[in-house]
Structure 1
Amino acid sequence: MMTFSVPKMSCGHCMSAIEDKILDADEGADVQCDLDARQVAVDTVLDAAAIVAAIKAAGFEASAA
């Protein structure tokens, strides 16, 4: 499982948008958002760069946590 820091994730809508974009890229991914920590954990077949790109497509900057 990879974990990403998403500093501007601040609400349920943000989490939903991020999860949707990751699942668009890999429908079998397991996505767990932690709003308090502003982190997203992803178990996926994709590499970290693809997940960062998916999060960016949702409108958020992300980096490996």
Structure 2
Amino acid sequence: MLWLLCLVLYGIYKIYKSKRPLTKFDHFYDKSFYLEEKKRYEEARDVRNQGIILNTLTDLERAELH
């Protein structure tokens, strides 16, 4: 019974994590890397471009996304 509860909570966490707004460098980088692994290159490029436009990132972080 406990493992079922843990499984449900893990599923909820994964859904929440995938739906969260992208606001930090790590969010953009991880999401674009995930999309590239799934061979969804255009979506990965769009995510990286959204990060480049964001003003809260440093120039180094923008360069890393580029």
Per the shorter chain, which TM-score range?
Answer: 0.3 to 0.5
Higher helix share: 2
Higher RCO (Cα < 8 Å, 6 or more apart): 1
For the pair shown, the structure with the greater C-alpha radius of gyration is 2
Structure with the higher strand share, 1 or 2:
1
TM-score (norm 2): 0.36
